[in-house]
Amino acid sequence: MKLLTIKIFFLSVLLIGTALSQADDDTLLKELQAKFDSIEDATVDFEQLHNGKNILSGVLLYKNGNKLRIDTKNLLIISDGSTSWNFNKREDKVIISNYDENSTGLLSVKELVYVFPKGCDISSTVSGDQRVLILIPNSYSVNFDEAQIWLTDDDLISKVKVTDTSMGTTEINFKNYRLNQDLSSSKFSFTPPKGSKIIDLR
């Protein structure tokens, strides 16, 4: 009887611990979403690596209403929420298309914070002094094996790491956030330079 009581006690502790852990994971995700709900606009420096190799770096601007601007050495990607412009600076070529929130992938705030978690089981851990959300897909709507999102003390994303069996590992580091600067809407619109090649897919 005593052994049975001990087993029941430890089972109860395990179940309670699991429930609390799940609550913590949900709370962490809600804190992240609440933080981005409070942001009208943001500017942040980023670096993207694929399998450890730097493939892209630059500045990302975000504004409510699916407005996005990604500025790198050779590429400028801009969206006003309805139209997107992809300007290849080196080739002086612009591709214009209807806005697709999936086209910017890991650099899309909406995808990272709101869309991906809906198709995943959520857990969390601690790495160094940062909390990490772990997303494991539970549906075919998400096409990666695992995503990890590192959070700063003030609930901003400092790093995203996505692992996919066929594609390898993609990592994006964010730093130097500048929040709620009342960014001009003109930064999220684009007029192709005179003489540039224009491909309009709309």
Closest to 146 (Cα-Cα) out of 168, 131, 114: 168
Can you give the residue ranges of every domain in the chain?
A: 2-200
Average pLDDT over residues 63-69: 90
CATH of domain 2-200: 2.50.20.10
Strand order from edge to edge, sheet including 75-79: 120-127, 130-137, 146-151, 157-164, 168-179, 41-50, 53-63, 67-72, 75-79, 83-88, 93-98, 197-200
pLDDT at residue 108 in the model: 72
Q: List, in order, residues 6 or more apart from 97 with CB less than 8 Å away.
A: 83, 84, 86, 103, 201, 202
Cα distances (Å, whole numbers) of residue 93 to 85, 87, 99: 10, 6, 18
**Type of residue numbered 200:** D
Q: Residue 21: pLDDT band by 50, 70, 90 thresholds?
A: very low
Percentage, residues of the chain above pLDDT 70: 85
Model confidence, pTM: 0.79
Percentage, residues of the chain above pLDDT 90: 57
